[in-house]
């Protein structure tokens, strides 16, 4: 199967090309060769993007299908219980009408720690409550870290997610991992070849994550007000350590609590950008809000409000997450890469809102019916 998209503006994951032809052969992007294609599309006035990557989701039944309709071709799940994960993986491998996924599998948290309360609260509203409230392994001390990580490797986790959250800013106070246990987990994960991504929502929790040597953060923190020099200091520390940060500002927007947190989170994203920290667009999408797929388009708007150019926001949802999660086959438009593509009306490299004007989505080269 050969598909040719002619005369289209291309955002290749890093930069924009005003006009090009893009050929798709089966499930791969190929170099145009002048031969006829089975399907030819006129891309005039449209922009072709790499399939979008949401770098922070919680994937349940229906999530991957919903994400794909919004042009999200890969979800990076940050906590999935084994039976649910096995089901979602099978779906992503078998079907072309759902997004692909990578997952942390079971995250590392203290007994009863975040997000146990959230999971118990949402479980009755799910088709399969056991996907949220099933039992899972927790951890309390550094000596357990190596075995905890080995169990995640055995389950097929793609990276380790560690929770540092004492509940002070959201739900009721809960037990959280001590700094020494966080550090032991990061070290064990690194020894096992896994990246560690930390959930931290305050300045103090973020500092614990940085002290432990994490690879990435799953949220921007939201307790430094605009103008607080602590935000810039922490951002510079993250930059010096080469840590990437998943934004997930939209989650602060939809999860209630103080409206200041949304403004703070946007300001922190701006500080991280100025410091040169790689920003990855993420949502914390779940079956309720933010919605899978839809939430990422809102996140891109929030990132541009935080100071990213539309092009930087597009990179934050394509090439940057691909690079930082080791997904070498996607996130860019180049010959040989996987044909995960999104075609939109207009020019999102100038007006980010155009990412919502989707005309076509390809997943592994398969054009989705719309
Ligand atoms: Zn999350």
Does residue 235 contact residue 192 with C-beta atoms inside 8 Å?
Answer: no
Q: Are residues 109 and 153 in the same domain?
A: yes
Query: Pick the residue with more confidence: 255 or 219?
Result: 219
Question: 25 C-alpha vs ligand 1 centroid, how far in Å?
Answer: 36
Question: 117 C-alpha vs ligand 1 centroid, how far in Å?
Answer: 13
Question: Distance between CA 337 and CA 331 in Å, rounded?
Answer: 9
Q: Is the pLDDT of residue 54 over 80?
A: yes
Query: Tokens 């002070």 appear where?
Result: 168
pLDDT in tens, 282-335: 999 999 999 999 999 999 999 999 999 999 999 999 999 999 999 999 999 999
Question: 144 C-alpha vs ligand 1 centroid, how far in Å?
Answer: 23
Q: Are residues 361 and 238 in the same domain?
A: no
Q: What is the CA radius of gyration of the chain?
A: 20
What percent of the chain lies above the pLDDT cut of 90?
95
Question: Distance between CA 238 and CA 215 in Å, rounded?
Answer: 10
Question: 325 C-alpha vs ligand 1 centroid, how far in Å?
Answer: 16
pLDDT at 255: 87
Question: 156 C-alpha vs ligand 1 centroid, how far in Å?
Answer: 19
Question: 287 C-alpha vs ligand 1 centroid, how far in Å?
Answer: 12
- Per-residue three-class SS string for 220-238: CCCCCCCCCHHHHHHHHHH
Mean pLDDT of the chain: 96
Question: 104 C-alpha vs ligand 1 centroid, how far in Å?
Answer: 11
Q: Are residues 272 and 285 in the same domain?
A: yes
Is 8 strand, coil or helix? strand
pLDDT in tens, 3-37: 999 999 999 999 999 999 999 999 999 999 999 99
Count of Cβ atoms closer than 10 Å to residue 236 Cβ: 16
pLDDT at 172: 74
Q: Are residues 59 and 44 in the same domain?
A: no
Q: Are residues 260 and 349 in the same domain?
A: no
Q: Are residues 16 and 149 in the same domain?
A: no
pLDDT at 370: 80
Q: What are the residues facing 47 on neighbouring strands? A: 9, 344
Return phi, psi of residue 179, to 5°: -55, -35
Q: Is the pLDDT of residue 2 over 70?
A: yes
The pTM of the full predicted model, rounded to 2 decimals, is 0.98
pLDDT at 169: 77
Question: 162 C-alpha vs ligand 1 centroid, how far in Å?
Answer: 11
Task: Kindly state the average pLDDT of the residues 227-235.
Answer: 96
Question: 56 C-alpha vs ligand 1 centroid, how far in Å?
Answer: 6
Q: Are residues 177 and 281 in the same domain?
A: yes
Q: Are residues 204 and 79 in the same domain?
A: yes
Q: Are residues 322 and 358 in the same domain?
A: no
Question: 197 C-alpha vs ligand 1 centroid, how far in Å?
Answer: 11
Structural domain containing residue 36 = 1-50+332-370
Q: Are residues 4 and 59 in the same domain?
A: no
Question: Distance between CA 81 and CA 360 in Å, rounded?
Answer: 32
Q: How many domains does the chain have?
A: 2
Report which secondary-structure segment, H or E, holds 344.
strand 341-345
Can you say whether the dihedral through the CA atoms of 180, 181, 186, 190 is positive or negative? positive
Task: Kindly state the average pLDDT of the residues 257-263.
Answer: 87
Is 103 strand, coil or helix? strand
Instruction: Work out whether strand 341-345 and strand 46-50 pair parallel, antiparallel, or are unpaired.
Output: antiparallel
pLDDT in tens, 34-46: 999 999 999 999 9
Residue 171 pLDDT level (bands cut at 50, 70, 90): low
Task: Residue 211: name the closest of 196, 232, 225 by CA.
Answer: 196
Question: 230 C-alpha vs ligand 1 centroid, how far in Å?
Answer: 24
Is 108 strand, coil or helix? strand
The enclosing domain of 352 has a CATH number of: 2.30.40.10
Task: Kindly state the average pLDDT of the residues 333-345.
Answer: 98
- Round to the nearest angstrom and report the end-to-end CA distance of the chain: 19
Q: Are residues 93 and 19 in the same domain?
A: no
pLDDT in tens, 87-99: 999 999 999 999 9
Question: 248 C-alpha vs ligand 1 centroid, how far in Å?
Answer: 9
Where residue 316 falls (left for φ over 0; alpha for ψ -120 to 50; beta otherwise) is alpha
The enclosing domain of 180 has a CATH number of: 3.20.20.140
Question: 111 C-alpha vs ligand 1 centroid, how far in Å?
Answer: 17
Question: 4 C-alpha vs ligand 1 centroid, how far in Å?
Answer: 38
pLDDT in tens, 102-152: 999 999 999 999 999 889 999 999 999 999 998 999 999 999 999 999 999
Question: 217 C-alpha vs ligand 1 centroid, how far in Å?
Answer: 11
Question: 23 C-alpha vs ligand 1 centroid, how far in Å?
Answer: 36
Residues counted in the chain: 370
Question: 285 C-alpha vs ligand 1 centroid, how far in Å?
Answer: 7
Q: Are residues 211 and 349 in the same domain?
A: no
Residue 168 pLDDT level (bands cut at 50, 70, 90): confident
Question: 3 C-alpha vs ligand 1 centroid, how far in Å?
Answer: 37
Question: 89 C-alpha vs ligand 1 centroid, how far in Å?
Answer: 19
């Amino acid at each position: 199967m050969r598909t040719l998209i002619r005369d289209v503006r291309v955002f290749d994951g890093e930069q924009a090309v005003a006009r090009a032809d893009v050929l798709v052969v089966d499930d791969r992007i190929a170099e145009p060769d002048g031969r006829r294609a089975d399907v030819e599309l006129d891309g005039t006035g449209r922009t072709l993007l790499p399939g979008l990557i949401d770098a922070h989701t919680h994937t349940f039944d229906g999530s991957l299908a919903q994400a794909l309709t919004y042009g999200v071709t890969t979800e990076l799940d940050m906590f999935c219980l084994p039976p649910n994960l096995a089901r979602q993986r099978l779906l992503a491998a078998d079907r072309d009408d759902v997004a692909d996924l990578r997952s942390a599998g079971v995250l590392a948290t203290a007994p009863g720690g975040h997000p146990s309360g959230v999971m118990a609260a949402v479980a009755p509203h799910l088709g399969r409550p056991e996907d949220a409230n099933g039992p899972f392994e927790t951890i309390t001390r550094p000596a357990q870290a190596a075995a905890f990580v080995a169990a995640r490797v055995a389950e097929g986790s793609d990276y380790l997610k560690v929770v540092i959250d004492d509940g002070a800013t959201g739900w009721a106070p809960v037990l959280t991992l001590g700094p020494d246990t966080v550090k032991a987990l990061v070290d064990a994960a690194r020894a096992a070849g896994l990246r560690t991504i930390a959930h931290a929502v305050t300045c103090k929790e973020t500092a614990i994550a940085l002290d432990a040597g994490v690879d990435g953060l799953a949220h921007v923190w939201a307790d430094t007000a605009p103008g607080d020099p602590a935000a810039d200091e922490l951002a510079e520390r993250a930059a010096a350590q080469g840590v990437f940060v998943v934004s997930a500002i939209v989650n602060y927007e939809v999860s209630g609590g103080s409206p200041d947190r949304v403004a703070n989170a946007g300001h922190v994203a701006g500080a991280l950008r100025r410091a040169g920290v790689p920003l990855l667009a993420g949502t914390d999408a779940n079956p309720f809000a933010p919605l899978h797929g839809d939430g990422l388009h809102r996140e891109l708007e929030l990132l541009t409000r935080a100071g990213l150019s539309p092009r930087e926001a597009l990179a934050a949802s394509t090439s940057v997450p691909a690079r930082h999660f080791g997904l070498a086959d996607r996130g860019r438009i180049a010959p040989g890469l996987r044909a995960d593509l999104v075609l939109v009306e207009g020019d999102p490299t100038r007006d980010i809102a155009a990412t919502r004007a989707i005309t076509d989505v390809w997943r592994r080269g398969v054009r989705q019916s719309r």
